[in-house]
Structure 1
């Protein structure tokens, strides 16, 4: 516990005080009529430390009704038994700081004071009304910095068992706020996905109903079976006829080609059979000798024999094809085609009806798959909703437990740390201090002093810092709990000059 004591305050040309020295005791009573400079004494202390008044506002300490070259306030402190003299002066508008009467830069001076105590904490302890001039977020932060939040396992014990079961493993990976943002985003995505899944299921269901067959599949198959059998038989007949007729056409084409080849060979034969050996070589045009002439005759004979052989092969091939053609008879399939056409006209509507059953089965599978996807999406969505609701309950219970810890520090004051949004029920940070059901802003002067003193005691105990406490307008409060540290009171006494009395020095 750090203890700060005021030993002596020296004022030089501050407001109405030309030269004033105040020695402090455990209680320092400052009395006098209005306008006698009572409040200037305690207001000069934060001026010396921070160049401001006890409410954190800019302070002009210069004399009111006379001129002076210098304005100066010096505060002799005792910090954990060690004395320290801190001073601040103004000369022609220029500020100068001193530590143990040694001129010091404003920066070093501020650092030294900050090392002693936090400014907002000191002013909240010194002036019980200062705390309430701060923004509620600052007030809340000041109070909670000394009070640890409930542990996760402690909060989980107070939520529903199923909620704790889901949250516990998740909170090992994420903070409660990160988990909340994660599932808010997931729920947003799943909301859209679920709507799309519902729409898909509805569309497929409508298509399924549209493609619903009217004739039972068993009846269609029973009706189609004999027709397919007849078509198969006719197809076999048609295929057989087509094979025969095709062969006839092939044979006729081949015979015609052989006839053409034969006729062409007859023309070639007329030339060949009348050919005689010439007196000159057909190649070099030299006159043929006896042996050469004989060779020419042999060549003609050889070519004649080869030609006859080739001609006979053509005749033989044609004869063979003609013999095969005589064994085949052209089949008229026009009747079969007509029957097949009639059968197909009966089969097609039946097959279309059967196709409806196949389409129906397809859409039925699509609908089932869509329903499965919709169900899975809904389960994921419900899980995120459940987790978000669990987080909301967790935070509400956390707020309740933290509120209980804070509330346990006070005796007459009530502290609100959270509020619940009307729209979504979310627990949001908030801060308000009440006394007897009334917010601080509605309290009377004496009530604000008592509230400030109680809060000052709590902050002092939690921060382990004891400072003097200053009560202005002390005449307005008849009873209050004595602070832990020194007490400085200012009280109006009609018709009395300024009087400073130190008790328990």
Structure 2
């Protein structure tokens, strides 16, 4: 794993901070300060040093110090950040300086502000921006660096699409063939998709459905318009005479229309298209036959891997629960031992107490003032001493009983701790065996995936593909020749109709009525066909969404097993019955951006960083802002710099791990 450690970070004249040095010496550090003392500015400087942006991924933020009115406090300053890092044990120094440019123009007495300049240094040597950027990029990519240094970056700055992409990259995606094989309802999906991928086909469906909806809404209006334009023939007569006069020419026109209908019907084209569909179906059968056996084995092995993942997760949670109980027992043991010691001290103090008769005691009657007899004075003294001794004995007895109970409780907690440690060792042994089994099962799964054959290597498949190409070419030729013949026939029909135009002037109204009626029927047929097409497209959309649900369900256990705290919801049911692809982070069922407290957000972010760091093989300094919100950060192999709000610290105060050990 590549390890990046921050040894020292120095800020000069950066966002209002005149000078600040964070000397972590390569270890963890806690930075304390009241609000607006510069804790977040330190993180901004750290990110700006390497990438020229602040911690919120903004490149145009204000570096100079400003007054209350938003004006620059002091010009001509050099705004500088320098960082000393250990990169895989090698010390490297990066330095970036931002300053104003002032130029005295010819003929001018004073110089004028003309812009800004940024200079760069690597290990003390000045370099150009390109060389500086290339050096940083060679160590770690910007997007990966931000993922590994800020617990909030993944959930608060990364887009949901990029979160899904990152999770799938870390945990491994599933092929379309595996998903389809896992749900028999999706068997027809490959034939529907053709050469398109799932998302492209969904866009095609959505676009086509929009067009169909628009056309379906317009068709009743178009039908009504045709009916309104239908001429009134109630007062016309002698249609039969007109028909006899133009019968010969009409027959010719009808013959032409029949010829045109035959051409447009495309009988040969329909036969070829039917054969093309048959070939495509045969190709799908060949592909399914080639993949069936391997996919069955893949499904069984994938189920085995998922089962082991679930077992590993269960054992880990049980170990964590017992470790937490051990910590509670240890705290309770210390408390009860301290209580026993306190009671022991109190008991020892009581042993030294003896009854003392109060001096100056009045031996006279309080009512009459006469001297009391000696026997009455002695009786009062004896009674007071007896009361003192009785109360002292009762108090000792209570202390003795409480002390014994405290010691017994401490022994009980210690015995429970010993028992839990033995159970943890047993669980760890079982967990190691499961992890070994999981590694072997993953390897076998990868080998099975590599065994899925490419259908294009099959001779029958290649032969069918060649035939399909040939049929497509034949269809294109038939359509081209049909269009030419149709154009010729239409021309002849127009000439014939021109010859009988005068004779049909009155009869045209009857023809208009008949044509209008035919048009209405065509539009009604088109309406039915569009409705049928819309229903088919909706079924295809359902299959696409079912594919996504199946894939997410198969990936869910695999992804969540990679994380100790974080869980992920990758799709969301919609009101209309569809699904929406999302990527929401959850902790114990609570969404990250829907009520999760700051402590849980920080630890969930660290859990994500741990998994991503292990996958990418990188460890970089983690800046935890608002760290006072969490009492205990989860363990991480990376260097951690906690930014803690402390009202008493009006200036930033840094505590390193070495300082805390010395204390």
Q: What range describes the TM-score normalised by the shorter chain of this pair?
A: 0.5 to 0.7
- 2:150 matched residue in structure 1: 127
Q: Tell whether 2:592 aligns with 1:440.
A: yes
- 2:89 matched residue in structure 1: 81
User: Of the candidates 63, 69, 77, which is equivalent to residue 69 of structure 1?
Assistant: 77
SS in 1 for 2:601: helix
**Residues of 1 paired with 2:623 and 2:596: CA distance?**
19
After TM superposition, give the deviation of residue 91 of structure 1 in Å.
1.7
After TM superposition, give the deviation of residue 74 of structure 1 in Å.
0.8
Whether the aligned pair in 2 keeps the contact of 1:48 and 1:74 (CA below 8 Å) is yes
User: Of the candidates 174, 179, 187, which is equivalent to residue 150 of structure 1?
Assistant: 174
- 2:198 matched residue in structure 1: 176
After TM superposition, give the deviation of residue 8 of structure 1 in Å.
2.0
Question: Pairwise mapping of residues 59-458 of structure 1 onto structure 2 (< 5 A)?
Answer: 59-63=61-65, 67=74, 69-92=77-100, 93-131=116-154, 132-159=156-183, 161=184, 163-167=185-189, 174-178=196-200, 387-423=540-576, 425-441=577-593, 442-458=595-611
TM-superposition CA deviations, 1:104-137 (whole Å, max 9, x none): 2333323332332232331232111233133333
Whether the aligned pair in 2 keeps the contact of 1:31 and 1:492 (CA below 8 Å) is yes
After TM superposition, give the deviation of residue 377 of structure 1 in Å.
12
TM-score normalised by structure 1 residue count: 0.55
Q: Tell whether 2:42 aligns with 1:41.
A: yes
**Residues of 2 paired with 1:19 and 1:181: CA distance?**
54
**Residues of 2 paired with 1:54 and 1:144: CA distance?**
26
SS in 2 for 1:146: helix
Whether the aligned pair in 2 keeps the contact of 1:420 and 1:428 (CA below 8 Å) is yes
Whether the aligned pair in 2 keeps the contact of 1:122 and 1:467 (CA below 8 Å) is yes
**Residues of 2 paired with 1:190 and 1:444: CA distance?**
48
- 2:4 matched residue in structure 1: 4
TM-score normalised by structure 2 residue count: 0.43
**Residues of 2 paired with 1:383 and 1:41: CA distance?**
59
Whether the aligned pair in 2 keeps the contact of 1:5 and 1:78 (CA below 8 Å) is yes
After TM superposition, give the deviation of residue 48 of structure 1 in Å.
0.8
After TM superposition, give the deviation of residue 449 of structure 1 in Å.
1.5
**Residues of 1 paired with 2:78 and 2:142: CA distance?**
26
Cα 1:421–1:115 shift into 2, 3 Å: farther
Judging by fraction of residues, say which structure has more helix. 2
Cα 1:190–1:47 shift into 2, 3 Å: closer
Compare 449-458 and 145-154 and name the one that shifted more. Answer: 145-154
- 2:26 matched residue in structure 1: 25
- 1:206 matched residue in structure 2: none
- 1:212 matched residue in structure 2: none
**Residues of 2 paired with 1:29 and 1:40: CA distance?**
15
User: Of the candidates 601, 604, 621, which is equivalent to residue 468 of structure 1?
Assistant: 621
**Unaligned residue ranges in structure 1 (runs of 5+):** 197-374
Compare 475-484 and 78-87 and name the one that shifted more. Answer: 78-87
**Unaligned residue ranges in structure 2 (runs of 5+):** 68-72, 101-115, 220-527
**Residues of 2 paired with 1:59 and 1:38: CA distance?**
16
**Residues of 2 paired with 1:134 and 1:36: CA distance?**
28
SS in 2 for 1:397: helix
Cα 1:25–1:386 shift into 2, 3 Å: same
After TM superposition, give the deviation of residue 458 of structure 1 in Å.
2.6
TM-superposition CA deviations, 1:9-31 (whole Å, max 9, x none): 22333333436352333311222
Whether the aligned pair in 1 keeps the contact of 2:10 and 2:19 (CA below 8 Å) is no
After TM superposition, give the deviation of residue 46 of structure 1 in Å.
0.6
Cα 1:70–1:404 shift into 2, 3 Å: same
Pairs aligned (count): 333
After TM superposition, give the deviation of residue 395 of structure 1 in Å.
2.2
**Residues of 2 paired with 1:71 and 1:385: CA distance?**
60
After TM superposition, give the deviation of residue 87 of structure 1 in Å.
1.1
Whether the aligned pair in 2 keeps the contact of 1:55 and 1:123 (CA below 8 Å) is no
Cα 1:481–1:401 shift into 2, 3 Å: same
Cα 1:477–1:382 shift into 2, 3 Å: closer
**Residues of 2 paired with 1:400 and 1:444: CA distance?**
28
SS in 1 for 2:44: helix
RMSD after superposition? 4.3
